[in-house]
Amino acid sequence: MNLKKALAGTTMAAVLATGMPVAAYADGAASTRNIILGGALATYLIIQHNRKVHEKYAEDSSRIAASQQQANNAEAAYSSEHRAYMAQLAANADLKKEVAYQHQIVVQQQQQLAAAGIHASYASPHQAALAAKAAKARGTKAPQVATVAYGWGDL
């Protein structure tokens, strides 16, 4: 508000300092030209303003689309990781079943050996093979032990 008062006061002082205002003579062609140029300038300014506004809207829309794309990518990544985790859980459950089955077989074999009166405390088929070689070297018979072969050959 103070700026408007200062501007009005300065304008009034300039008018009083120059004397009485004199009527301006305007040429009809110049006046028409100035009106057309003023209208063209106003139209140009409005068009430029609208262009800037639309550019800003487009930038906002692309930023929103990018953030939604990022969110969709994150959701897809989460979904993929969740599926992989569930598959790993299923594989772990299968491995637990396999280990339990193998343990059951080992216990059965130990019971069969105990029922047959054979005492074998070998921890692996490799150790059983070493014991058989040692017994052969001594000239005695190695105890018969049930072994499991995995197709790897002698280690």
**Pair (50, 93) in one structural domain:** yes
**Pair (64, 108) in one structural domain:** yes
**24 DSSP assignment:** P
**Number of structural domains, the chain?**
2
More confident residue, 33 or 7: 33
pLDDT of residue 25: 64
Token pair, residue 112, equals 């069969």
**Pair (41, 113) in one structural domain:** yes
Contact present, 146 and 124 (Cβ < 8 Å) = no
pLDDT of residue 45: 92
**Pair (132, 100) in one structural domain:** no
**Pair (132, 88) in one structural domain:** no
Range of the domain at 132: 121-155
47 domain-assigned: yes
What b-and-e string marks burial along 32-51, b requiring 16 or more CB atoms within 10 Å of the CB? eeeeeeeeeeeeeeeeeeee
Query: Phi/psi at 25 (nearest 5 deg)?
Result: -95, 125
17 domain-assigned: no
127 domain-assigned: yes
**Pair (147, 93) in one structural domain:** no
**Pair (67, 86) in one structural domain:** yes
**Pair (112, 126) in one structural domain:** no
- At residue 67, what is the residue type? S
For the whole model, what pTM was predicted? 0.36
Interval 45-68 mean pLDDT? 88
pLDDT of residue 80: 86
More confident residue, 137 or 1: 137
Token pair, residue 8, equals 């009005």
16 domain-assigned: no
**Pair (92, 48) in one structural domain:** yes
61 domain-assigned: yes
77 domain-assigned: yes
